[in-house]
Amino acid sequence: MSLSRKEKAIVKTFMGKAMKKADEVGNEALSRLLTVYPQTKTYFAHWKDLSPGSPAVRKHGLTVLNGVFDAVDKIDNLEVALLSLSELHAFMLRVDPANFKLLCHNVLVTFAMLFPDDFTAEVHVAVDKYLALVCLALSEKYR
Ligand code: HEM
């Protein structure tokens, strides 16, 4: 799967807007991940409070979303751009890569919620593909 030139432009424009609400997007997406797929809580068992909107969830949500937003600049080379993050999740954190898809799904839902006017079907397709490519790049070191 690859993004066309037009889709890349759509992703860049949409992400440029979404980035301005990175904190809110990160909090909503991670809060939802932990609520809708509670099995993901096991990875964050060392946090004091895993409830939606808690300081730890908000802070880490922003960290993760910044990873997603920063990668937009490296859209043509995601595998290389995300290699060290892939290594970290594979060997240090030992996160099952199936969880990347769950997170990306929640990021997509969050975009639709927070940006109803910008999130057209055309944007949906391009951003969905971009997130799938991010998941694939993060799964690189598991092979
Ligand atoms: C840490 C990005 C998905 C579990 C991190 C960090 C980043 C990041 C940037 C901080 C790394 C550092 O401190 O050097 C991402 C991105 C994801 C993703 C871009 C997918 C789009 C996930 C998923 C899980 C997960 C799905 C588990 C369900 C963790 C854990 C940490 C971490 C446990 C360490 C947090 C802590 O100890 O407080 N991730 N992540 N990540 N990530 Fe991910």
Nearest alpha carbon, ligand 1 atom 34: 93
Amino acid at 47: W
Residue 141: band (very low, low, confident or very high) from pLDDT cuts 50, 70, 90? confident
pLDDT of residue 55: 97
Report how many domains make up the chain: 1
Range of the domain at 80: 5-142
Cα–Cα distance between 118 and 81 in angstroms, integer?
Answer: 27
Contacts of 42 (CB under 8 A, 6+ apart): none
Which residue lies with its CA nearest to atom 31 of ligand 1? Answer: 93
CA of 89 to the centre of ligand 1 (A): 7
Cα 55 versus chain centre, distance: 19
Q: Say which CATH number the domain at 111 has.
A: 1.10.490.10
* pTM, 2 dp: 0.96
**ipTM above threshold 0.90:** yes
Question: Relative to the CA of 56, which ligand 1 atom is closest?
Answer: 38
Among the residues of the chain, which ranges form H helices? 5-18, 22-36, 55-70, 78-81, 83-87, 98-114, 121-138
Sign, CA dihedral 132-138-140-142, equals negative
**What angle do the packed helices 121-138 and 98-114 form, to 10 degrees?**
150
pLDDT greater at residue 141 or residue 42: 42
Q: Of all atoms in ligand 1, which is nearest to the CA of residue 104?
A: 21
Q: What pLDDT digit, counting tens, does each position of 79-123 carry?
A: 999 999 999 999 999 999 999 999 999 999 999 999 999 999 999
Is a pLDDT exceeding 80 seen at residue 143?
no
Note the pLDDT tens digit of each residue in 4-61: 999 999 999 999 999 999 999 999 999 999 999 999 999 999 999 999 999 999 999 9
Packing angle, helices 55-70 and 22-36, rounded to 10:
110
Pocket-forming residues, ligand 1, beta carbon under 6 Å: 40, 43-44, 60, 63-64, 67-68, 85, 88-89, 93, 95, 99-100, 103-104, 134, 138
